[in-house]
Amino acid sequence: MAAEPRTPEAVEHAAEAVEHAAEFDPGGMIMHHILDSNEIEIPFFTDFTGKSLHLPEIHLFGQDFSITKLTVMMWIVAVGLLFMFWRAAKRSHEPVPRGFRNFAEIFILYIRDEVARKCIGEKDGDRYLPYLLTTFFFILGCNLLGLIPGGATATGAISVTATLALISFLVTQMAGIRNYGLGGHIKNLVPHGLPKAILPIIIPVEILGMFTKPFALAIRLFANMTAGHVVILSLVSFVFILKTPFVAIGTVPFSLFIGVLELLVAVIQAFIFTMLTALFIGMSAHPAH
């Protein structure tokens, strides 16, 4: 069968389609890097072959239980922390700490002495120290893994930060219930000694504040970890948008500066989340009367 002759209009339309497909889409590129997906891009391998590692999709009872990129990142952090702390625990008999144990003890002692015990109290602080340390190192690991090529920032997803904030909320409420019982904890939500005339205003405000605290934790961590990636990708995009290498003279060094700054932000945000969680637990376990 002879091929149909192409009209000038068809050729022009095909050329426009190719040019449109080749156009750089900064918004799509940024969203591709910060959103979750069912595939993982492997550095160098994906660049040369164009193929990514596709993750299994699981659907049970009409629900999507598929393994995603961020799920794998959290698994890597969890397994890595378990292995490193197991190795550090095996060396606990050594008089001089070294390696990861030396690095971890700096944070462990600081969170114990300056965060847990000061915000919750010495007795209750040691009780909730394992949870606070787990929260800190897990968030720190997720934050740092997103800075490695091929990695992704799990704490840049609102679903992950909301789950962490929900766990913090439950631990906070359990701290008050443990010390005062359910009835006493509910009474302690409102400061004592207030005039009864303003209780109809204070009670809704205090109940709303009980839920806004974990909401603020989730949004703060999510926004800070997402913002850094968006800024770096936006700066790099200027080179392709303006189509001139001279822009790279300013954008590339500044992107490197933001990347180094993100290392500091990763530690700070993990510490802030842990410190505020300890503060909320202390306010619930030892409310001001």
Over residues 266-277, the pLDDT tens digits come to: 999 999 999 999
How large is the average pLDDT for residues 121-139?
Answer: 91
221 close to 265: Cβ distance less than 8 angstroms = no
pLDDT category, 47, cuts 50, 70, 90? Answer: low
Q: Which residues contact 57 (CB under 8 A, 6 or more apart)?
A: 38, 64, 66, 67
Would you say residue 119 has pLDDT above 50? yes
Q: Helix, strand, or coil here: 104? A: helix
Would you say residue 128 has pLDDT above 70? yes
- Pair of tokens at residue 132: 């606070």
How far is residue 33's CA from residue 40's CA, in Å, rounded to a whole number?
11
The residue among 29 and 137 whose pLDDT is bigger is 137
Would you say residue 256 has pLDDT above 60? yes
HSE (side-chain half, CA atoms, 13 Å) at 75: 6
Would you say residue 140 has pLDDT above 70? yes
Give me the residue label for tokens 């239980």.
Answer: 65
Tell me which DSSP letter residue 112 carries: I
Q: Which of 76, 105, 73, 75 is nearest to 89 (CA)?
A: 105
Would you say residue 196 has pLDDT above 70? yes
- Decide: pTM greater than 0.75: yes
Q: Helix, strand, or coil here: 58? A: coil
- Pair of tokens at residue 163: 């789950």
Report, in angstroms and rounded to the nearest whole number, the Rg of the chain calculated over CA atoms: 25
Would you say residue 167 has pLDDT above 80? yes
pLDDT category, 26, cuts 50, 70, 90? Answer: low
Please tell me the predicted confidence (pLDDT) of residue 17.
44
The segment with the largest mean pLDDT, out of 50-64, 113-127, 265-279, is: 265-279
The segment with the largest mean pLDDT, out of 82-86, 120-124, 186-190, is: 82-86
Would you say residue 44 has pLDDT above 70? no
How large is the average pLDDT for residues 121-135?
Answer: 90
pLDDT category, 15, cuts 50, 70, 90? Answer: very low
- Pair of tokens at residue 53: 């590692």
Q: Return the domain boundaries, the chain.
A: 40-285
- Pair of tokens at residue 201: 């205003």
Q: What is the mean pLDDT of the chain?
A: 81
146: number of Cβ within 10 Å: 23
pLDDT category, 135, cuts 50, 70, 90? Answer: very high
Length of the chain: 289
Indicate the burial class of 267 (C-beta count within 10 angstroms; 0-12, 13-18, 19 or more). Answer: middle
259: number of Cβ within 10 Å: 14
The segment with the largest mean pLDDT, out of 23-27, 52-56, 102-106, 174-178, is: 174-178
Tell me which DSSP letter residue 154 carries: G
Please tell me the predicted confidence (pLDDT) of residue 76.
92
Angle at 188 between CA 184 and CA 192, to 5 degrees: 120
Tell me which DSSP letter residue 245 carries: G
How far is residue 221's CA from residue 272's CA, in Å, rounded to a whole number?
9
Give me the residue label for tokens 């699981």.
Answer: 58
Q: Helix, strand, or coil here: 50? A: coil
81 close to 141: Cβ distance less than 8 angstroms = yes
